[in-house]
Structure 1
Amino acid sequence: MEEYMFDTNPYEEKMNAAFGFFQDELKKVRTGRAHAGMLDGVMVEAYGTKMPLNQVANITAPEAQMLLVTPFDPGNITAITSAIRDNQSLGFNPSDDGRVVRVPVPALTEERRRQLVKQVSEKVEEARIAMRNIRQDALKDAKRMKDAKELSEDDLKLVEKEVDSLMSKMQAQIDEAFKAKEKDVLTV
């Protein structure tokens, strides 16, 4: 009896990595509620170097439309306020009282919400394409092994079944993440 020699684990790992990337991409899409992650891309000029905001301040969302940024060193407050204001992609207008920076997060317009859902849909499509490519690689590698007589026809069928079941699991996770994010974006 020939030992079944095809390992689907590397492909599962690749799928999980692609799903992780997809989740990180989703986090970057704004929702109607304020959350600390909104300021992830902000770099602050502090101590003569550019640093991520979360390394020079604590960021909280005490209410749905407000972010509160508390500098670890009050000497950096002006630089922090400027860095947030100068980040065009955010479009925020922060103010500070010398101790904390308040960042009002404007509610999303209906049109903006639709744009964001479209953005999320595009990320879903990218994730699906990544999954399909990984699936094709796995099947191609298995077929190559069958042609080289390292796998039997039955083994190949087992591999296809296993890879397809992985695919279904990933698709379900992508759909779930999409629905949750869409709900977040559309919730006022």
Structure 2
Amino acid sequence: MDSSNWAEHLKQDFSKIRLRMLEKLEEFSILRLNPKHFYSIKVEQESSLSPLAELASINLESARMLHIKPYVVSQKSLHEIEKAIKKAKPNVTINSKDNELICSIPEPTAEIREEKIKSSKQVVEEARIALRTKRQDLLKKFKNWYPSENELHSNKNSLEKEISRYLSEIESEWTNKEKEFRQLK
């Protein structure tokens, strides 16, 4: 990175920060089931462990209900898949119906929702801090890159505009996610 491409590097760093924040927010699976969280569950199959995604189709029915249908249906495969899910996701209720498993989670209480929202606010704050740290790093580099006061001032202003824009994007993402957490049915 040098004085000519700092904005592009900042954009790439922001994309990574944002993606990491969104991934962490998705981990709050107590509020909703996410098929991605089931893909890598290891299932014992013929003396070896295989990812669930290789053994069954995983379809989201609603925010709290997931259907898992083995590609090769047998009572043994259903039992092994159920056992692996219970081990990996203890808060999930599993029912068997018509050669498929139906996974569900109960409606979270208001207390649990608020606790998860509080935890997710911490994740968002970590993203803000990471972005502010990037700003501080760039400001230190600007002093070496731009000897003239005009260039330094101009680039500082550009940096502040970019950081403000990225912070507002993070805030917007958080507002949408918080609404989702509160309204999830």
- Report the Cα distance in structure 2 between the residues aligned to 1:40 and 1:163, rounded to whole angstroms: 40
Q: CA deviation at 1:77?
A: 2.5
SS in 2 for 1:106: coil
- Report the Cα distance in structure 2 between the residues aligned to 1:91 and 1:54, rounded to whole angstroms: 20
Alignment of 1:97-108 (within 5 A): 97=97, 99-108=99-108
Alignment partner of 1:159 is 2:160: no
Is the 8 Å Cα contact of residues 32 and 184 (structure 1) preserved in structure 2? no
Alignment partner of 1:179 is 2:175: yes
What residue in structure 2 maps to residue 71 of structure 1? Answer: 70
Greater relative CO, 1 or 2 (CA 8 Å, sep 6+): 1
AA matched with 1:27 = E
SS in 2 for 1:29: coil
Is the 8 Å Cα contact of residues 19 and 170 (structure 1) preserved in structure 2? no
**Compared with structure 1, are the counterparts of its residues 97 and 183 closer, same or farther at alpha carbon in structure 2 (3 Å cutoff)?**
same
- Report the Cα distance in structure 2 between the residues aligned to 1:38 and 1:71, rounded to whole angstroms: 17
AA matched with 1:16 = S
Is the 8 Å Cα contact of residues 77 and 98 (structure 1) preserved in structure 2? no
- Report the Cα distance in structure 2 between the residues aligned to 1:145 and 1:48, rounded to whole angstroms: 60
- Report the Cα distance in structure 2 between the residues aligned to 1:163 and 1:47, rounded to whole angstroms: 57
Q: CA deviation at 1:63?
A: 3.1
What residue in structure 2 maps to residue 6 of structure 1? Answer: 4
What residue in structure 1 maps to residue 55 of structure 2? Answer: 56
SS in 2 for 1:24: helix
Residues 101-142 of structure 1 deviation map (CA, whole Å, 9 limit, x = unaligned): 111221111111001101110100110111011111111111
**Compared with structure 1, are the counterparts of its residues 170 and 47 closer, same or farther at alpha carbon in structure 2 (3 Å cutoff)?**
farther
Aligned to 1:168, which of 164, 168, 181? Answer: 164
What residue in structure 1 maps to residue 24 of structure 2? Answer: 25
- Report the Cα distance in structure 2 between the residues aligned to 1:154 and 1:53, rounded to whole angstroms: 59
What residue in structure 2 maps to residue 39 of structure 1? Answer: 38
- Report the Cα distance in structure 1 between the residues aligned to 2:40 and 2:118, rounded to whole angstroms: 21
- Unaligned runs of at least 5 residues, structure 1: none
Is the 8 Å Cα contact of residues 74 and 98 (structure 1) preserved in structure 2? no
Residue-pair matches, total? 180
What residue in structure 2 maps to residue 96 of structure 1? Answer: 96
**Compared with structure 1, are the counterparts of its residues 6 and 55 closer, same or farther at alpha carbon in structure 2 (3 Å cutoff)?**
same
AA matched with 1:45 = E
State the superposition RMSD in angstroms. 2.3
Q: CA deviation at 1:22?
A: 0.9
SS in 2 for 1:108: coil
Q: CA deviation at 1:95?
A: 2.5
- Report the Cα distance in structure 2 between the residues aligned to 1:47 and 1:168, rounded to whole angstroms: 55
- Report the Cα distance in structure 1 between the residues aligned to 2:177 and 2:30, rounded to whole angstroms: 8
SS in 1 for 2:102: strand
Q: TM-score, normalised by structure 2?
A: 0.84
What residue in structure 2 maps to residue 86 of structure 1? Answer: 87
Identical pairs, percent:
23
**Compared with structure 1, are the counterparts of its residues 101 and 116 closer, same or farther at alpha carbon in structure 2 (3 Å cutoff)?**
same
Larger mean CA deviation between 22-31 and 102-111 belongs to 22-31
Residues 162-187 of structure 1 deviation map (CA, whole Å, 9 limit, x = unaligned): 21111111111111111111111111
Q: TM-score, normalised by structure 1?
A: 0.83
